[in-house]
Structure 1
Amino acid sequence: MNAVLNVIAATVILVGALLALTAAIGIVRFPDTLSRMHSATKPQVVGLILVLIGAVIRLRGNIDIWMLVLVGLFTILTAPVIAHMVGRVAYREQRGRDGLLAVNEMADDELDQEDD
């Protein structure tokens, strides 16, 4: 049973590391910030969570498991907030690029703010 859990832990860690690698490649390869946000948040967070799950399986019975759980929770809570803030700044900085967004809901917000 111990060997099976070690194989499962190694597999989950490897899959998580591959997801994190694809996220890093996406950050380098995508042309603009709004495109890079996808690879900077979703696969990176899922990859980290998978690595942490693999580490928890591997370290079963150790006191350090709770620290790994806290790292995972903190990442899940902060990644959407960071992506939202980066997205708003990137939108403001790249306004000159027409056709970048299929639906531009923030343009209506800016018009409402200018009217006030």
Structure 2
Amino acid sequence: MSLESVLDVIGSVLILIGASFTLTAAIGLVRLPDVLNRMHAGSKPQTLGFLMLCVGLSLVLRDGSATAMLAVAACLQLVTSPVATQVMAKAAYRTGQYRADLVVEDREREVEDRDDRDGDAGNR
């Protein structure tokens, strides 16, 4: 087997695994009960699946400009997905768009945060 054949097989396997992760994320978006769980399903496996697709495509294509474009897309995905998920989670939590029976709230942490904010306001 030549090196090109091995790279094609590895790339194809990575593309299939990445596609299955992305399919899992899509199924999770439909099947999970509330916003917070759906966001987890939409961000974690989707990001990993996209990265595997990018690596698999770069192995199959073996073109410098395509690999550079895939690397840029992968980096942008790694930067934007966690930030967007965090912002959506905060918005869903603040507006009550979640199932309260599935969320464990840390009341002590809320008291500490409130005390910290009150303490900081007094120092100004």
Q: In 2, distance between residues paired with 1:9 and 1:45?
A: 17
The alignment status of 1:3 with 2:2, answered yes or no, reads no
Bigger Rg, structure 1 or 2: 2
Of the three residues 21, 26, 30, the one matched with 1:24 is: 26
Q: In 2, distance between residues paired with 1:54 and 1:63?
A: 15
What is the match of residue 101 of structure 2?
A: 99
Q: In 2, distance between residues paired with 1:42 and 1:102?
A: 21
Q: In 2, distance between residues paired with 1:104 and 1:31?
A: 21
SS at match of 2:64: coil
What is the match of residue 45 of structure 1?
A: 47
* Letter matched to residue 7 of structure 1: V
Answer 1 or 2: which has greater helix percent: 2
Q: Which runs of 5+ in 2 are unaligned?
A: none
Give CA-to-partner distance per residue, 1:15-51, whole Å, 9 cap, x none. Answer: 0000000000000001110111111110000000000
* Letter matched to residue 30 of structure 1: L
* Letter matched to residue 61 of structure 1: D
SS at match of 2:104: coil
What is the match of residue 82 of structure 1?
A: 84
What is the match of residue 72 of structure 1?
A: 74
Taking every aligned residue pair, what percent have the same amino acid on both sides? Answer: 35
| RMSD of equivalent CA atoms | 2.5
Change (3 A) 1:9 1:101: same
Which runs of at least 4 in structure 1 moved beyond 4 Å after TM superposition?
Answer: 113-116
* Letter matched to residue 103 of structure 2: L
- The offset of 1:65, in angstroms, is 1.1
Change (3 A) 1:12 1:96: closer
